Structure 1
Amino acid sequence: MPSAGSSPRRVKQLAALLAMAAAFCAQLLGALLAQVPVFVTAAAAGLALDLYLRHRQPALLSMLSRIRFDVTVRQLLRDMLILLGLLRIDGIDPLREQAPLTVALLLVYALHFVCQAVAMLVRRTRTLPVVTRNIDASALRLCAAPPRLLARRPGHRLLTFSVPATTGLLVTAVTGDLHGGAAGIGVSLVLMAAGTVHLATWLLPGKRPANTEQTLEWLDTWLAEYRPTVAMYFSGGTSSAYQANMWLSTLSALDGKPLIVLRERFMVQKIQATDVPILCIPRVSHLFALENSTLAMMLHPANSGKTSQVLRIPSIKHAFTNHGESDKLSSCNPYAKAYDEVWVAGPAARERYRLAEIGVDDKDVVEVGRPQLAPIQPWTGAPESTYTTVLYAPTWEGWDGNPGNTSVVLAGENLVRALLDDEGVRLLYKPHPMTGSVDPAAGAADRRIRAMITEAAARRSGPRPGLEAVAEAARRRAELDRLTSSDFRAGADELERMMLQGRPEEGRAALVAAATEAWEEAYWASFPEWEHQIVVTPRLGIYSCFNQSHLLISDVSSVVSDYLHSEKPYAVANTSGMTEADFRASFPTVRAATVLTPDASGVPELLESVRHPEKDLRKEARAELKAHLLGPSDPPSLVRFNAAALALCAEADERRALMTASLMSVIPSQRGPGQDAPAEPAPGAGGSSEPANA
């Protein structure tokens, strides 16, 4: 769905296109009619517009490149029209005077293409088969990246280095003196030649990183020295990194040597602060370096097309942890049967897999709880403050268009209106970030809800926190930004980031966690307790909103399961069209909830039960459902999770031993008389996959 600011942006882009077309047309007419002021002004305006759009509207120029009207074509056309104009001017000899200018100008473009060829070679040599973070990869001869203008921005380079040449030609057109054009083209030639030579120094041995073979040898050596035992494997798109980030603290707390294995290069910087080594291996052929390592098992927080590639490694066991559990069908994906084990929070998910009949054997389902929920504070009874804080956190509409997926469209405005009508309610509205991405009606309803909350907040007044609280929140935010920001210069490439991130600050992840907690506390303290808020700050997690609230209103989603960890009252909006009885029977997470109809008629009674716990008839049901969904509180979830990891690692070791024994039994039968027996493999080394498949 187009965003609110898309129309003005499109108007600006259309105006820029029209201005560019007008400049070229005016330049052509001025050149043909020998109207020097016209084509000189038009050429200068066109060049200035191109430079402006390069910095302010790169998306528009990208669109022009897709229709083969890229910067090279535009600049060449612009210069050729200037040369055409010079042909029409009296007093300039085309053969004796203009021809040398034309040849020199073409040489500028030839050098541009040479520089681009060198840039491609440099980028190729600086693209290693692996990308690392939190790993000392200095042995790969890493160094700082070349200037971005030379190596990665050919459009900027051509425009910038062509300015002297184009300007000189325009001076010649105005004055009739060839020296202006010659001087301008000369400066451009020097810039292009010097830039090309400087860029080529990155191909010399002193700046050239390790090649593919050397890098893979280094990888084998590093794996042998680090000796990883458990890894989190992740592959996904730009917006899916949260699925991996939610497992970072759990992974780092496990016994053994943890590792994060990624498949997309961009994802390396999407992973939040962690002390765990990060290894990105884009190509499947290089991924099998893990087979001969000590890695015993992998955790999988999401399914992806590339997951099947790593499942082919026979020496590694695989556990599917998912990135959230709900009653939705997506929580029981048939792909789960490809893993050795499926790790779930509690008995409810085990039941869900059994009922789904998708091929997951019950013995392969392991209940490990949800270690990430530890920061969620427990229910303490009736609100102690004047206001009852209600968190309305609906999910998005989903891909299938089912009206029961989200309450935003059919019930959202009614729910918000009913909450805002209660003077004792403070509303926190946290919509799903993908709301409106599929159904425009959901996006429109979301905007109306935000407008309602903004208007209601403006009508309220009361004492506000002092300037000290606001300043403290700003200070904490600055400190958090300092810890989490990547101090990379604009031209840093993959190798330079690897060099800078090779040795992480010891305990940095703990520092970031503490800074995040301090900022969240200061953030909430900087607002009055009566102020409604629309929570869309990406840095502010939903668990922080949980801790601020006394009541959750949501939809059927993993948000409800996570909130149950607190045992606070919650409600689920029923927009499915089912009866309440069928709704509760179909979705186990709803069994301890107050079910709200689309007209929100039950909101007053719900608020009354929150304010007066003696009227809360679902307290015991929530405690029972929590255990059913999330498993027992004792032993703690992290203890159970770690035990499951150790057990699966032990199984992997047993299978590796069997594979090694199988290899030993096959090889002797292939030896001739008098041949020595093969050396025994190093401890922890995986066997080849051929004997296992034989």
Structure 2
Amino acid sequence: MRAARPGGTALKALITAVLAGVFATQATAALLPNAPLLIAATVAALAVEGILYRWQPGMLSLFAKAHADITVRHVLRDLLLVVGLLRLAEQGREAQYTPLVAGLLLFYALHCAIQAVSILVRRTRTLPVLTRNIDASALRLSPAPAALLRRPGYRLLVLGLPTTVGLAATAMSREPLPAAAGIALSLVLAAAGLGALLMRLLPSRRPAGEQEVLDWFDAWLADYRPTVGLYFSGGVSSAYQANMWLETMSRLGERPVVILRERFMVARIAPTDIPVVCLPKVSTLMRLEHSTLQVLIHPSNSGKTSQVLRIPTIKHAFVNHGESDKLSSCNPYAKAYDEVWVAGPEARERYARAEVGIEDKDVVEIGRPQLGAVHPRSGPPAADARTTVLYAPTWEGWDGNPGNTSVIAAGENLVQALLADPDVRLLYKPHPLTGSVVPAAGAADLRIRDLIRAANQERSRSHSAPSPSSPSPSPAERARAASELDRLTAELDRLTATGSRADADQMERMLAQGAPPPGRAEAVAQATAAWEEAYWASLPQAEHQIVTDVRPALYACFNVADLLISDVSSVISDFLASGKPYAVANTSGLPEEAFRAAFPTVAAATVLTPDASGVPALLEAVRHPEKDELVEARGVLKLRLLGPDEPTSQQRCNMALRDLSTAALNHGARMAQTQMQPETQPQEQPQRERQVQPRRLAEDLLPGPRRESDAGAGAGVEVGADAGAPVTPPSRSVPPV
């Protein structure tokens, strides 16, 4: 949760005070009675409600927690109008308002009935399985009811508006006709809404029931026959952890599937052609045990991970969503997986140093397949060109360690030092979770953004010209670039659109996001590359940028940056693929020598102190490569962190998957053989035969040439070997080919 901007709390207090004031005024006017004041207070109350729904929706939940939700406020508003009418009525004419009160009560009864039926409709539309990129038309999916019928507060406000207006008009004219007309209109609208919802409960209009959906899902699994899955569970802001592995999954040469656990996460997974299924219930998740899935890849740990680890027919590999020297990169939870796939030798040694129980034979080096999108350094920056510096700090973490992020202690100093250099263009890309744990980090992030905006305004006022080697584009060229960016944005939005309304529910989105058209993934990749090129071309060369949207991605920022400044995180490990200089802010309180010793990823970095005094010398080394003394160190560190360039990381990932899939098949074959054997086996059966037979069965099940040894977990007996002789288990690291 981002830290609140100054004045946010004061604004909420002001709105609350105004709302309480208009209700108090309305009550006073009803009791006096004073018709003009009563009408003015009613209009003011409706205006405040509109402001809440339009600009302050978060306050609606706060009022609801205080038992002052829209229903209570609406009933109170109409009740005060009725009290005012009774007080304003002439002696003996109070009875003429009795039908109005009866109609008002009937309207609220219809409102409650609509809410009850809408809950029933919502339950029929809440399926046990959600999908994307799968044709689920057999489940009789349908568009969602109108948002007006699904949102009780908004519904009451809109449908009850004629009643409130009619009562206010009657208070002014002392004639019951306006109130009667308003109540009648509200009753007609409410009855129509109730009828529309009831129609959806008819058997012919209802979607498939739970058992029918589960049977359909089993049939889809049997037809698609997935072999590898990406399993992910997390919070609203954590979808990036899964998204970074989507392209790698699509290149595995298998039948992949993305398995999610939270319903909201389905919409947050990036555009992909891989089938996506969400299985919220454990009982539904366990149906995977009888599928063809062999391997699940896990980019993060979560409480729900333990649930899928109970499936014995699937092997599990932990790949993490990034590697760094932090303790989170060698979490003891990794012991729960069959294998831990890491980038390079340093990660293997990190697990050994941490002594968290990860055996070396279970660690497989695959590199970082995602880094194919990072362009290697093509040469030093042009002599007179602006130096593009990417400042990408990480977040504060859960443990409160001041060394986790530089934003609090050093961020403003670093940014001020960079902005002070007229030949620097700064790209600021904070971590999306910044400020979610420590409010001071969120506040510092906001101050940094203000510094960058102020610097851009200053450059604009001073008409700062770009360097001679990169002249400023003319207004016509800028206009053409902006027009091209708009066109590409529209094209990319079209390719990645969900095909459903903004207020669609999950079933409607599931209906709209069926089987993708052929070639969509390739079209999205090409459109994204073209968009990124147009994006950077459209920006003023002298203007600093705050990059917080999904586009451009972090790796796109890598490709245009000459220098990275970051913290101890996976960002610096990934940036090494470019071969460009990088710096790390030391906010840990350790001396530089101890800081480098504690964090091996800093070995080839320039270490900056919190006061940012080293920034000028750092920029000088970037602009004059002959002064860069860390070139060779970066090459050595890249090999340690990311592994060799050949075979490619994608090839090594494919090999690791193939070996673990083989282990899963062999394990399944042994278990099947065990279940087929009688409970009591003859004692005279040779030991060697009992060990070799399951392996032969597994080899018969495997496609392709017969393997000489089992790469699975616990395998250590080669075909034809003497069963009595000890055999060393094969290494699980993927060897070069």
- Report the TM-score, using the length of structure 1 for normalisation: 0.91
Q: Does the 8 Å contact 1:167/1:181 carry over to 2?
A: yes
Distance 2:44 2:423 in 1: 61
Deviation at 1:566, TM superposition (A): 1.4
Structural mapping, 1:454-473, within 5 Å: 454-457=453-456, 458=459, 459=462, 460-462=464-466, 463-465=471-473, 466-467=477-478, 468-473=480-485
Residues 545-594 of structure 1, C-alpha deviation per residue, up to 9 Å, x if partnerless? 11112222222111110011112222222222222222221111111222
Task: Identify the residue that residue 98 of structure 1 maps to in structure 2.
Answer: 97
Distance change >3 Å, CA 262–CA 97, structure 1 → 2: same
Conserved? CA contact 1:250–1:371, under 8 Å: yes
- Once the two structures are superposed, the pairs formed by residues 639-658 of structure 1 within 5 Å of their partners are 639-658=651-670
> Residue by residue, what CA displacement relative to the aligned partner does 1:102-121 show, whole Å, maximum 9, x if unpaired?
22211111111111111011
Q: Residue type matched to 1:640 in 2? A: R
1:516 corresponds, among 510, 515, 528, to 528
Alpha carbons of 1:14 and 1:568: their partners in 2 closer, same or farther (altered >3 Å)? same
Question: How many aligned positions are there?
Answer: 670
Q: CA deviation at 1:470?
A: 2.8
What is the aligned counterpart of 2:258 among 249, 257, 260? 260
| Alignment correspondent of 2:388 | 389
CA distance in structure 1 between the partners assigned to 2:524 and 2:144 by the alignment: 28
Q: Partners in 2 of 1:352 and 1:512 — Cα distance?
A: 37
* Match for residue 163 of structure 1 among 161, 164, 167: 161
Distance 1:125 1:440, change over 3 A: closer
Displacement of 1:20 in angstroms is 2.3
Match of 1:542 in 2: 554
Partner of 1:688: none
Report if aligned partners of 1:273, 1:508 keep a CA contact under 8 Å in 2: no
8 Å CA contact 1:450, 1:534 repeated in 2: yes
Given the superposition, is the C-alpha separation of residues 78 and 282 from structure 1 closer, same or farther in structure 2, using an over 3 Å criterion?
same
Pairwise CA distance, 1:444: 4.7
SS of the counterpart of 2:296? Answer: strand
Provide the rounded CA distance (Å) in 1 between the counterparts of 2:423 and 2:431.
25
- Say whether the 8 Å CA contact 1:592–1:622 is kept in structure 2: yes
Go from structure 1 to structure 2 and tell me whether the alpha carbon gap of 1:93 and 1:6 turns closer, same or farther (over 3 Å shift). farther
Question: Within 5 Å, which residues of 2 pair with 1:579-658?
Answer: 579-658=591-670
Q: Secondary structure at the match of 1:330?
A: helix
Decide which of 517, 520, 524 is 1:505's aligned counterpart.
Answer: 517
Mapped partners of 2:446, 2:97: distance in 1 = 62
**Is the contact between residue 498 and residue 512 of structure 2 (CA under 8 Å) also seen in structure 1?**
no
Structure 1 residue identity aligned to 2:161: V
Structure 1 pair 221/382, CA: closer, same or farther in 2 (3 Å)?
Answer: same
Deviation at 1:447, TM superposition (A): 4.3
1:157-202, Cα deviation, whole Å (9 max, x unpaired): 1121222222333333333333333222222221111110111111
Question: Could you tell me whether the CA contact under 8 Å between 2:3 and 2:439 is conserved in 1?
Answer: no
In the alignment, residue 392 of structure 1 is paired with which amino acid?
Y
TM superposition shift of 1:394: 2.2
Kept in 2, the 8 Å contact 1:275–1:506? The answer is: no
Deviations 1:87-138 (A, max 9, x none): 2234475674222222221111111111111101100001010111101111
Which stretch of structure 1 is more off in the superposition, 45-54 or 508-517?
Answer: 45-54
In the alignment, the residues of structure 1 paired with residue 18 and residue 410 of structure 2 have an alpha-carbon distance, to the nearest angstrom, of: 47
Residues 3 and 442 of structure 2 are in contact (CA less than 8 Å); yes or no, is this contact kept in structure 1? no
Match of 1:174 among 154, 172, 175: 172
Aligned to 2:79, the other structure's residue is in SS state helix
After TM superposition, give the deviation of residue 511 of structure 1 in Å. 1.7
| Structure-2 residue corresponding to 1:117 | 116
What's 1:77 paired with?
76
Partner of 1:126: 125
Alignment partners' CA distance in 1, 2:339 and 2:503: 44
Whole-Å separation in 1 of the counterparts to 2:439 and 2:51 = 34
- Specify the alignment match of 2:88 in structure 1: 89
- Contact kept? 2:167, 2:182, Cα under 8 Å: yes
Summarize the Cα distance change of 1:430–1:20 in structure 2 as closer, same or farther, 3 Å threshold.
closer
- Residues 411 and 504 of structure 1: is their aligned pair in 2 closer, same or farther, counting only changes over 3 Å? same
What secondary structure is seen at the aligned counterpart in 2 of 1:62? Answer: helix
2:311 counterpart of 1:307: no
The residue that corresponds to 1:288 in the other structure is 286
Find 1:578's aligned residue among 570, 576, 590. Answer: 590
Q: Which amino acid aligns with 1:516?
A: T
Q: Distance in 1 between matches of 2:484 and 2:374?
A: 24
Q: CA deviation at 1:512?
A: 1.8
Aligned-partner SS, 2:238? coil
Instruction: Please say if residues 86 and 92 of structure 1, whose CA atoms lie closer than 8 Å, have aligned partners that are also in contact.
Output: no
Change (3 A) 1:94 1:277: farther
Code of the residue aligned with 2:486 in structure 1: it is A
Distance 2:271 2:439 in 1: 35
Q: Which residue of 2 aligns with 1:692?
A: none
Identity among equivalent positions (%) equals 59
Aligned counterparts of 1:374 and 1:426: Cα–Cα separation in 2: 25
- Over 3 Å counting, the alpha-carbon distance change for 1:111 and 1:334 in structure 2 is same
Shift of 1:536: 3.1
1:88 partner SS:
helix
8 Å contact from structure 2 (residues 237, 433) kept in 1 = no
Structure 1 counterpart of 2:66:
67
Q: Which moved more, 1:571-580 or 1:231-240?
A: 571-580
Match of 1:40?
Answer: 39
Give the deviation of 1:63 after TM superposition.
1.2
**Structure 1 residue 187 and structure 2 residue 185: aligned?**
yes
User: Could you tell me how far apart the structure 1 residues matched to 2:141 and 2:23 are?
Assistant: 45
The structural deviation recorded for 1:248 is: 0.4
Amino acid at match of 1:567: G
Does the aligned pair in 2 maintain the 1:146–1:491 contact within 8 Å?
A: no
Q: 1:547, 1:311 → 2: CA distance?
A: 38
SS at match of 2:36: helix
Question: d(CA) in 2 for partners of 1:216 and 1:390?
Answer: 52
CA drift at 1:666: 5.6
Q: 8 Å contact 2:383–2:623 — kept in the other structure?
A: no
